[in-house]
Amino acid sequence: MGLALLAIIWLITFFSTYFFVAKTWWLPHGASTAALFIDNQFALTYLLMGIIFVAAQGALGLFVWQYRDRAGAPKVEYSHGNTKLEVLWTVLTAVLFVGLNLMGSNVWARERFAPANPGSVPVEVTGMQFAWYFRYPGPDGKFGATSPKLMDPSAGSEAAVGLDTSDPAAKDDVVTGTMYLPVNREVDLRLRAVDVIHSFFVPNMRFKQDAVPGLEIHMHFTPTEVGDYEIACAELCGLGHYKMHGTLKVVSAEDFDKWLVAREAEKQ
């Protein structure tokens, strides 16, 4: 039975570790400036936890077999513990865990403590049951007013976000269902939610932030590769949660400008 226990524990450990190491299913391709740092911190954590995982499971399996009760087994070591050893592994664990955390905190600070740099692309992201809308402030650089009274999702994108067309600043606002961003430029996101909590999740950008009704949350990231990326909702928001998705198209700076100009022209 000791051998059976050892076998099952070691087998489980082997298979689990195999799929981690083989990266059979893995983090999606990272295409933002944050991705490099996040993935590095992830790799470090994963290496350390992986070593502990294999060591602990290995020891568990080994001990239950090695110390099985059998004829001729050595006498039991009667002991209530070893204080020195306790202190040692407590300190080591604390240093490891807290140290690991502090290393990751730089990345967190860079992503979250400071606002977006000046010159970043302003985009307002609005989440509602069950779609994402993206608003660009247009040439005047100002987001126009929106009003809850004007919100009508059945009447198109501008009505969905409740754009108040009587506000002069709103006249050049572009509202779309697909997000366009220029590559290598930081985006200054303004996240809003209209009804319940949603979460704006772009896996390839290593970006996630809840959109909370009653709050206007500013976040930023910088896409580094042209391409099409999927946006998922990452906070349960109702029956359509699973299909509340969007698309982020990262394009060259010229293509972005062209696209924006074309949208502005459509408004005339």
Partner 1 sequence: MVAQDAHDPHGNNVHVHAAPTGFIRKYIFSLDHKVIGLQYYFLALSAVFVGMFLSLLMRIHMIWPTAVLPLVGEIKPETYLSLLTMHGTIMVFFVLTTAPQGGFGNYFLPIQIGAPDMAFPVLNMLSFWTTFIAFMVILAAFFVTGGAPLHGWTGYAPLSALPSAGPGEQLGADLWIASIAIFCVASLMGALNFITTVLDLRAKGMTMMRMPLTVWSWFVTAILGLLAFGVLLSAGILLLLDRNLGTSFYVPLVVVNGQIMGHKGGSPLLWQHLFWFFGHPEVYIAILPGMGVASQLLSTFSRKPIFGYKAMVYAIMGIGFLGFMVWGHHMFMSGMSPYSAFAFSIMTMAIGVPSAIKTFNWLGTIRGGRVRFQTPMLYAVGFVSLFVSGGLSGPFLAQPVLDIPLHDTAFVVGHFHLIMGVAAIFGMFGGTYYWFPKMFGRMMNERWGRIHFFLTLAGTYAIFMPMHYLGMAAQPRRYSQFTELAYLQPLIPLNRFMTYAAFVTIGAQFIFVINLFWSMFKGPKANDNPWQATTLEWTTATPPPHDNFGGRTPVVNHGPYEYSVPGAPKDYVMQTDPATVTAH
Partner 2 sequence: MATLSSTVTVNDPAAKGPKTGDGPGGTQPPVLGGGGGDRGGNGFPDYGQRLRRTRLGLLVGLIASTMVFVSFTSVYVMRRGLPTLDDRTGGYVHDWLQVSLPTGLLLVNTLLLVLSSITVELARRQITRQAALAPLQSIPGVSIGRERNYPWLGATLVLGLGFLTGQWMAWRELAGRGFYLATSPSSSMVYLLTATHAIHLAGGLLVLLYAGATGLLHRAVEGRRIVVDVTAWYWHFMAFVWIYVFALLEFVR
- The residue range among 116-124, 136-144, 198-206, 251-259 that interacts with partner 1, by the rule CB under 8 A, is 198-206
Beta-carbon contacts of residue 41 (< 8 Å; ≥ 6 apart): 103, 104, 107
To the nearest whole angstrom, how small is the minimum distance from the Cβ of residue 144 to partner 2? 9
To the nearest whole angstrom, how small is the minimum distance from the Cβ of residue 168 to partner 1? 24
To the nearest whole angstrom, how small is the minimum distance from the Cβ of residue 244 to partner 1? 9
Q: In terms of CB distance, is 60 or 150 closer to partner 2?
A: 150
Angstrom distance (rounded) from CA 135 to CA 142: 11
CB 20 within 8 A of CB 54: no
Phi, psi of 204 (to 5 degrees): -70, -25
Q: In terms of CB distance, is 81 or 119 closer to partner 1?
A: 81
Q: Which residue has the tokens 């929106």?
A: 146
> Encoding tokens for residue 128?
């509602």
* 33 is a site residue for partner 2 (CB under 8 A): no
Member of 40, 90, 93, 147 binding partner 2 (CB under 8 A): 147
Member of 216, 228, 230, 257 binding partner 2 (CB under 8 A): 216
Burial of 146 per CB tally in 10 Å (0-12, 13-18, 19+): buried
| 245 phi-psi bin (left φ>0, alpha ψ -120 to 50, beta other) | beta
Cβ neighbour number for residue 36 with a 10 Å cutoff: 13
Member of 169, 183, 212, 226 binding partner 1 (CB under 8 A): 212
Nearest-Å Rg of the Cα atoms of the chain is 26
- Residues in contact with partner 2, counted by CB under 8 A, come to a total of 7
- The residue range among 56-64, 84-92, 145-153, 250-258 that interacts with partner 2, by the rule CB under 8 A, is 145-153
For the stretch 118-121, contacts whose Cβ atoms lie closer than 8 Å and that sit 24 or more positions apart, written own/partner, are: 119/185, 119/186, 120/185, 120/186, 120/187, 120/188, 120/220, 121/181, 121/182, 121/185, 121/186, 121/187, 121/188
- Residues in contact with partner 1, counted by CB under 8 A, come to a total of 102
- From the list partner 1, partner 2, none, which binds 145 (C-beta under 5 to 8 Å, kind-based)? partner 2
Member of 54, 60, 62, 145 binding partner 2 (CB under 8 A): 145
To the nearest whole angstrom, how small is the minimum distance from the Cβ of residue 47 to partner 1? 12
Question: 84-143: which residues touch partner 1 (CB under 8 A)?
Answer: 85-86, 89-90, 93-94, 97-98, 100-101, 104-105, 107-109, 111-113, 128-129
* 215 is a site residue for partner 2 (CB under 8 A): yes
CB 163 within 8 A of CB 175: yes
- Among residues 176, 222, 173, the alpha carbon closest in space to that of 202 is found at 222
- From the list partner 1, partner 2, none, which binds 146 (C-beta under 5 to 8 Å, kind-based)? partner 2
Q: In terms of CB distance, is 175 or 231 closer to partner 2?
A: 175
| Binding interface with partner 2 (CB under 8 A) | 145-148, 214-216
